[in-house]
């Protein structure tokens, strides 16, 4: 026998016994997105590398260390999508989605790829549900977007999640904050790691997401953006908070949230679970008022979030939230003798076409083994077709739970009415 080939590190299979859980969460997400007026966008799994370098930012860990980048056969550098926002904005611009007017409200459910060190809740291929709200500068949009995820948590009965918000300012006030950060880190530079020394020069904000414990300790006492906001940003943040208050959405202000991607401006937020380990952020997002322009569009504000499906399922698991299981086999049709083979095949096919989950044996089993198989499938009903039944044009159907039986004509319609 040849050696088995296993899945790549940091990837997961969703096995048949668990894929219904994904389908359930996805259907709740789709319903919520539709109720809030977001329309689905699907984009390619890979893009030209330049999109993420320019969109996500070349000082981020995602771009510097985590992208799966390769050269295609034509010699162009392409990258497996590490996040959805850059792709959504690229498509919005490429397809002039702004044409009919703003705002444009998009959602996606898509796999993403980051070459991170895998651990519980952190994978190299993971799935995000994301929304992007393009065109509005108003705090009402910030509150709406946060409200979408807040509502999703309710719909999924997920508890123990804290919403943390912050504002990281705009290009007007950010330079002052950066200068303060740089001055602070400059005074500690002997203890910073090599990457952070470089970050200090190019983008000191990125030191705040360094994974080294020493840098983390230093960053804990660094200046916070909220103290450096310009009046417009301050008002925007105040207004966003009072919108959330009006909606009854609880939040905490966490001045340390800066997010790991470069495009953010003003409002940033995270939904953090107390039931997950180190990877406790189930959803992250914020405003990116400069991104559309950076990617070649007219200056247009935007914002959004993405939530990891794996982390949502982990939290639901940890909280023992029941997920409705799909219905199994409705009726198993066993065959007795070779004459019944084709009639069984036809009957099962006819039942399926009528929407009845019908099964038969295709392994050449004897009757006893067929009934065992019916048990394994969890069939609600079973029937046996042999010479006698074929001749009589009827058969007895057995209710597998109670053991009781009843007669039924051998017509798919009649059987359907009897078992559903």
Which of 221, 142, 139, 143 has its CA nearest to residue 180?
A: 221
Token pair recorded at residue 365: 């089993």
Closer residue to ligand HAM, CB minimum distance, 133 or 381: 133
Least Å from the CB of residue 389 to ligand HAM: 54
Alpha-carbon span 392 to 395, nearest angstrom: 8
Both tokens of residue 277? 């380990």
For the bound state, the minimum distance from the C-beta of residue 88 to ligand HAM, rounded and expressed in Å, comes to 8
* CB neighbour list of residue 282: distance below 8 Å, 6 or more residues apart: 158, 161, 271, 272, 273, 276, 307, 308, 311, 312, 315
Which two tokens mark 388? 């006698």
Taking Cα atoms as reference points, which of 136, 82, 87 lies closest to residue 107? 87
The span from the first CA to the last CA of the chain, in angstroms, equals 46
CB of 118 to ligand HAM, least distance (A): 8
Which CB atom, from 156 or from 347, has the smaller least distance to ligand HAM? 156
Alpha-carbon span 60 to 235, nearest angstrom: 28
Q: Which of 263/332 has CB closer to ligand HAM? A: 263
Q: Which two tokens stand for residue 411?
A: 């017509």
The residue at minimum Cβ distance from ligand HAM is 308
Distance CA 390, CA 137 (A): 72
User: Where on the chain is the footprint of ligand HAM (CB under 6 A)?
Assistant: 83-85, 114, 116, 121-123, 126, 128, 130, 132, 260-261, 281-286, 304-308, 310-311
Tell me the C-alpha distance between 378 and 329, whole Å. 6
- Closest approach of Cβ 69 to ligand HAM, in Å? 16
| C-alpha to C-alpha distance for 409 and 341, rounded to whole angstroms | 18
Question: How near is the Cβ of 397 to ligand HAM at its closest, in Å?
Answer: 47
Q: Where would I find the beta strands (DSSP E) of 8-48?
A: 39-40, 46-48
Q: Which is nearer to ligand HAM, 208 or 415 (CB)?
A: 208
Least distance in Å: CB of 201 to ligand HAM? Answer: 24
Selection from 80, 87, 58 nearest residue 124 by Cα: 80
Q: How far is the CB of 109 from ligand HAM (least distance, A)?
A: 12
Name which of 119 and 242 has its Cβ closer to ligand HAM: 119
> Closer to ligand HAM at the Cβ: 49 or 405?
49
Under a CB-based contact definition with an 8 Å cutoff, are residues 261 and 60 in contact?
Answer: yes
In the complex with ligand HAM, the residue whose CB is nearer, 312 or 347, is 312
Minimum CB separation of residue 292 from ligand HAM in Å reads 12
Q: Which residues pair with 284 in a beta bridge?
A: 270, 306
Q: CA nearest 131: which of 141, 119, 139, 117?
A: 141
Nearer to ligand HAM, 129 or 381 (CB): 129
């Amino acid at each position: 026998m040849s050696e088995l080939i296993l899945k790549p590190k940091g990837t997961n299979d969703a096995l048949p016994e668990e894929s219904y859980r994904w389908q359930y969460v996805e259907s709740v997400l789709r319903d919520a997105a539709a109720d809030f007026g977001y329309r689905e966008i699907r984009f390619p799994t890979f893009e030209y590398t330049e999109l993420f370098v320019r969109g996500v930012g070349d000082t981020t860990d995602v771009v510097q260390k985590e992208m799966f980048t390769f050269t295609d056969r034509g010699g162009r550098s392409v990258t497996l999508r590490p996040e959805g926002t850059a792709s959504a904005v690229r498509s919005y611009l490429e397809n002039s989605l702004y044409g009919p007017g703003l705002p444009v409200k998009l959602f996606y459910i898509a796999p993403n790829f980051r070459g991170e060190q895998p651990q519980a809740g952190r994978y190299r291929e993971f799935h995000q549900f994301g929304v992007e709200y393009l065109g509005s500068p108003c705090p009402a949009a910030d509150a709406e977007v946060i409200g979408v995820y807040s509502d999703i948590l309710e719909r999924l009965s997920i508890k123990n999640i804290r919403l943390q918000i912050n504002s990281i300012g705009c290009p007007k006030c950010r330079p002052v904050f950066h200068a303060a950060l740089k001055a602070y880190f400059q005074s500690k530079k002997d203890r910073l790691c090599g990457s952070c020394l470089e970050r200090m020069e190019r983008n000191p904000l990125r030191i705040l997401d360094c994974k080294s414990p020493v840098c983390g300790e230093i960053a804990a006492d660094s200046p916070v953006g909220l103290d450096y906001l310009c009046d417009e940003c301050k008002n925007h943040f105040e207004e966003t908070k009072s919108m959330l208050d009006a909606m009854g959405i609880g939040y905490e202000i966490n001045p340390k949230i800066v997010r790991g991607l470069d495009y953010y401006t003003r409002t940033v937020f995270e939904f953090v679970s107390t039931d997950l380990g180190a990877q406790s952020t189930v959803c992250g997002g914020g405003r990116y008022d400069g991104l559309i322009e950076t990617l070649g569009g007219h200056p247009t504000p935007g914002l959004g979030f993405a939530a990891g499906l794996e982390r949502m399922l982990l939290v639901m698991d940890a909280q023992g939230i029941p997920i409705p299981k799909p219905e199994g086999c409705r009726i198993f049709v066993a065959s007795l003798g070779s004459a019944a083979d084709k009639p069984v095949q036809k009957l099962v096919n006819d039942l399926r076409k009528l929407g009845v989950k019908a099964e038969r044996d295709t392994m050449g089993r004897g009757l006893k083994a067929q009934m065992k198989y019916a048990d394994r499938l969890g069939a609600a009903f079973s029937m046996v077709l042999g010479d006698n039944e074929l001749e009589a044009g009827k058969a007895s159907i057995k209710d597998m739970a109670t053991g009781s039986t009843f007669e039924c004509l051998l017509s798919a319609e009649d059987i359907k009415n009897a078992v559903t």
